[in-house]
Amino acid sequence: MPPELVGDTEAVSGFTTGGRYGSRTVYELTSTQGSYWHGPCRRPGCQGGQLTELVSVHLQPAGFEVVRDGGGYVALVGPGIDDHDTDPLYAAVSGRPGTRGPSS
């Protein structure tokens, strides 16, 4: 049985307040933030940064897991996300290495 998602969640990009999934840090990505990070894309199946496409085309192949889908945001855990660093998440969404820019 998977761990329970613990912490307050809201439809705002950023780390959940005390949010943990087992021992892993949870990051919530809104469709607005995902679109902002995403930009133009040429990957097959990606039509411009809709949240479902970001998850299926970019995030899941990069090893991220959705632990809650809030209908306008997704709560994610994945490789390299910790309490202070979401650069791997940004790189998976944008296709560019580097810092993530604004978190909200």
pLDDT tens digits, one per residue of 65-90? 988 887 788 888 888 887 777 788 88
Percent over 70 (pLDDT), the chain: 71
More confident residue, 61 or 54: 61
5-14 own/partner pairs: CB under 8 Å, 24+ apart: 5/67, 5/68, 5/75, 9/68, 9/70, 9/73, 9/75, 11/70, 11/72, 11/73, 12/73, 12/104, 13/73, 13/103, 13/104, 14/103, 14/104
Provide the whole-model pTM.
0.72
> Span 27-39, mean pLDDT?
78
Residue boundaries of the structural domains of the chain: 5-94
